[in-house]
């Protein structure tokens, strides 16, 4: 009987600790309206790209890549534009057809985090895994600051994309015109 009581107590305390950290992350995320960060992006472990981004919730992002082609990724909340000097044109996707649609939707992330368990395979950050509409998404949060520090998804070509954030600044002032896609479609 004592063993049974002991295991129940251990389970209860572990569950409450998990629940508490998840709720702390959710509370922190609810109070964020913008993020600015540097990133390193690995695509199927073959290519690595670096740059800087600004996210304005909900669903807006502007990224400049550190490359010779002046690559830019912009979402106005509905469409996603990728443009660079290398492609001599631009690619336009409906945001809803990309995994970024979910990453940039704070309410969606919070709803899924309430259902998901923290993946214990990552000792240095909190990790939440979930699948939605044939998209597998993994998001990472810093254990100290509780800031979003990365995500893992598959792109429209089924390449594994790992994005790691650094130098994260939250709630910076951002002008809406930064997310205007017309500037990048000409």
Enumerate the domain spans of the chain: 2-184
Q: What is the mean pLDDT of residues 12-31?
A: 73
Q: Is CATH 1.25.40.10 correct for 2-184?
A: no
Q: In angstroms, rounded to a whole number, what is the distance separating the alpha carbons of residues 175 and 186?
A: 21
Higher-confidence position of 28 and 68: 28
Helices (H), 32-181: 100-103, 106-115
- Is cis: bond before 121, omega within 30 of 0? no
Q: pTM value?
A: 0.84
Q: Is the pLDDT of residue 15 over 50?
A: no
Say how far apart CA 38 and CA 21 lie, in whole Å.
Answer: 25
**Which tokens in the block code for residue 109?**
């992330």
pLDDT one-digit tens code per residue, 109-163 = 999 998 877 677 778 889 998 888 878 899 999 999 999 999 999 876 788 899 9
Give the least confident one: 27-36, 42-51, 75-84, 101-110: 42-51
């Amino acid at each position: 009987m004592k063993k049974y009581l002991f295991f129940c107590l251990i389970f209860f305390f572990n569950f409450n600790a998990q629940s508490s950290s998840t709720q702390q992350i959710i509370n922190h995320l609810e109070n964020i309206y913008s993020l600015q960060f540097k990133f390193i992006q690995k695509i199927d472990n073959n290519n690595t790209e670096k740059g800087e981004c600004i996210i304005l919730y909900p669903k807006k992002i502007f990224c400049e890549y550190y490359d010779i082609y002046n690559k830019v990724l912009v979402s106005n909340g509905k469409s996603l534009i990728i443009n660079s000097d290398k492609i001599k044109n631009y690619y336009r996707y409906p945001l809803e057809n990309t995994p970024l649609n979910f990453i940039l939707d704070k309410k969606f992330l919070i709803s899924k985090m309430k259902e998901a368990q923290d993946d214990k395979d990552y000792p240095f950050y909190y990790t939440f895994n979930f699948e939605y509409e044939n998209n597998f998404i993994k998001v990472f949060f810093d254990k100290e600051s509780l800031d979003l520090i990365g995500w893992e998804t598959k792109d429209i070509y089924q390449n594994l994309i790992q994005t790691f954030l650094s130098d994260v600044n939250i709630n910076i002032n951002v002008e809406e015109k930064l997310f205007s896609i017309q500037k990048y479609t000409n």
